[in-house]
Structure 1
Amino acid sequence: SDIDVSQTEDWSSPRRKFQIGSITSRALWLLEITAVVGLIYLGYDLWQAREVINKEVKEVISADVYPTLSPTPIIKALVLPGGHVPPTDPGGTRPNDSEIPENLRPLVQALPAVIIPTPSARQATRIVIPAIQVDAPIVQGDGWEQLRRGVGQHIGTASPGQNGNLVLSAHNDIFGEIFKNLDMLLPGDTVTISTMGEQFTYVIKGTEIVEPTEVSVMDPTTTPSLTLISCYPYLIDNKRIVVFGELQKS
């Protein structure tokens, strides 16, 4: 049963080398074909995506409407805006830093100044509340300096008429006492917010007295909403009065 070496296949023979080379060439050819097909498919997929985007843009432009944006504040407030020491304090009125939890004060002091948005046609410019004789300008931002000049819109909250929570603050016993009589508003009273070219009317739904740290009242909403905030009570200023409204249905 000796093995006949002469019958063993010679792997180094030219014929065998040709067969191996042929198999390798076919495998490489199949890989190249697969890669080309993959590139063609990817290119077609990208082309389709581009066409869809272009179609959506054309539809928005032709309809002359703009998508509703959902503003997001850069950082969540730690206390509600408008806090200050009462004007009857021996040291005079000033921001009430004691409202900020002590362990968070270093964080607040280290925060950069809030960037005020550049003016736009959608920004609120004026507020009128007939029931309490309010007619005042609206400025962007609700810090100490902004509230010297009128009613301040909390940065990042909704524009008038848009889905979301439009948050406005003003003082009750300093800087014109603009929101002195918020506690006199009743459900059904109206608030008109103007922009550069439009007016939006909100209807009052209710009022709450909350702690200065109850920042959840400024949370975004899914419908066009209005939140008015001021210190409370008059000349004591250790709470906040919060008035809620909804956009009047046409």
Structure 2
Amino acid sequence: MGGGSTAAGHEEGKGVVLPAPDPLTLLPLPDPPTELPPADPPTVPPPVDPPTDLPTDVAVDRPADARPTRRPAGPSVVPRARQAVDPHHDPGGRLPARARRGRRPDQAGRPYSSAALAARPVGGRVTRGLGEIMITAGVVVVLFLVYQLWITDILAARTQSDLRRDLTTAWAHRPPPPAPTGETGPPRAVPPVDLGEGLAVLRVPRFGADYAPVIVEGVSADALRRGPGHFPGTAMPGEVGNFVVSGHRTTYGKPFGRVDELRVGDPIVVEVADRYFTYRVTRSEVVDPHRLDVTYPVPEHPGIAPTSAIMTLTTCHPRFSARSRLIVFAELDQTTDRADGPPPALADE
């Protein structure tokens, strides 16, 4: 009965809406397809060569107690872009010394830490410190020599120019000497002047026509920076006794730089306000710096009264040293008035 109803339902079901199926009834799943549609084969990327080395500016994390891995000898492989921008990369030592001087201390490019600096050998730090001190000392010595050999000459030239101007003015306004009275000796040709002031003009034909330094009064360090100095207490120019003059040989204008060239018979002319005194060299010698007997009225003969006018030049010896003194002695040969013109010794220049 039931089967017939089903068949009848099928026959009569053409174009007829069937009732809704029972939701509790499970429908059978369709069978899977027996054939799959064709698919494109997967694209496999080309193999990549593993890097042989790390760039020098990449830090590798390592355990704290791990030792650094030794690398084989030879230049490291660095990307071409890295080589173009990194001035510290120099595998073949082709960079100049100035470029290699700034290379970083390790391959990773990290600067030394304070602990690494403290671990450096003490000897290296001491050597570096001594080297810096020696370089500084060398610079100071060079500057000192420049000052002594050139700057002092410039300062002395300016001082001499001022002294010559003042001395010329003083001579132009010098009052006439008093007439002798018979009770006193002849008036002094050169009146006394203050320490450091101009006294006379020194001329030496052997040193050239332009050689004419102003002699100042005094032989202190300050006085000798101004020019050759007259030894206080000794005779004045042209007087009987010993007229002693000292001067620098290598600094402050080097007024006595060529004294060693003087020969026996060479003239030395001292110019004062109204006359010229011409001395002639008699001898020279090198003595100990403590030999003051060369400044006595009669050189090297203490207690002897002078009978002639003598001139003594003193300077350091050898050059650039104060170990000894070079002494040149001369004796007065001729006295002439300035109104009569230069003496023969200067006229022959």
Shorter-chain TM range is 0.5 to 0.7
Which residue does 1:36 correspond to in 2? none
Query: Quick check: 1:172–1:180 contact (8 Å CA) kept in 2?
Result: yes
Letter in 2 for 1:138: I
Which residue does 1:240 correspond to in 2? 325
Instruction: State the Cα deviation string for residues 188-209 of structure 1 (Å, max 9, x = none).
Output: 1011111122110000001100
Which residue does 1:66 correspond to in 2? 186
2:313 match: secondary structure: strand
CA distance in 1, matches of 2:245, 2:285: 15
The one of 132, 157, 164 equivalent to 2:234 is 157
CA distance in 2, matches of 1:161, 1:125: 11
Higher relative contact order at CA 8 Å, sep ≥6: structure 1 or structure 2? 1
Structure 2 vs 1, CA of residues 209 and 68 (structure 1 numbering), >3 Å: closer, same or farther? Answer: same
Q: Which runs of 4+ in 1 moved over 4 A?
A: 62-65
Query: Quick check: 1:224–1:247 contact (8 Å CA) kept in 2?
Result: yes
1:248 match: secondary structure: strand
Q: 2:262 aligned with 1:192, yes or no?
A: no
Unaligned runs of 5+ in 2: 1-178, 299-305, 336-349
Q: 2:263 aligned with 1:143, yes or no?
A: no
Structure 2 vs 1, CA of residues 196 and 249 (structure 1 numbering), >3 Å: closer, same or farther? Answer: closer
1:174 match: secondary structure: coil
1:202 match: secondary structure: strand
2:260 match: secondary structure: helix
What TM-score do you get using the length of structure 2 for normalisation?
0.38
> Would you tell me which structure has more strand in proportion to its own residues?
1
The one of 276, 279, 282 equivalent to 1:205 is 282
Query: Quick check: 1:124–1:194 contact (8 Å CA) kept in 2?
Result: no
Which residue does 1:214 correspond to in 2? 291
Unaligned runs of 5+ in 1: 1-58, 70-116
Query: Quick check: 1:212–1:238 contact (8 Å CA) kept in 2?
Result: yes
Instruction: State the Cα deviation string for residues 146-169 of structure 1 (Å, max 9, x = none).
Output: 011111000011111110000001
Query: What value does the CA root-mean-square deviation take over the aligned residues?
Result: 2.5
Structure 2 vs 1, CA of residues 220 and 62 (structure 1 numbering), >3 Å: closer, same or farther? Answer: closer
CA distance in 1, matches of 2:188, 2:252: 34
2:181 match: secondary structure: helix
Which residue does 2:162 correspond to in 1? none
2:252 match: secondary structure: coil
Q: 2:202 aligned with 1:127, yes or no?
A: yes
The one of 174, 190, 194 equivalent to 2:251 is 174
The one of 217, 221, 224 equivalent to 2:309 is 224
CA distance in 2, matches of 1:210, 1:248: 25
1:124 Cα deviation (Å)? Answer: 3.9
CA distance in 1, matches of 2:225, 2:309: 27
CA distance in 1, matches of 2:278, 2:183: 25
Paired residues, number: 142
Letter in 1 for 2:186: Y
Query: Quick check: 1:208–1:243 contact (8 Å CA) kept in 2?
Result: yes
Instruction: State the Cα deviation string for residues 50-70 of structure 1 (Å, max 9, x = none).
Output: xxxxxxxxx94269962679x
CA distance in 1, matches of 2:207, 2:180: 41
Percent identity of paired positions between Structure 1 and Structure 2: 31
Query: Quick check: 1:137–1:151 contact (8 Å CA) kept in 2?
Result: yes
CA distance in 2, matches of 1:68, 1:125: 13
What is the 5 A alignment of 1:83-102? none
Letter in 2 for 1:191: I
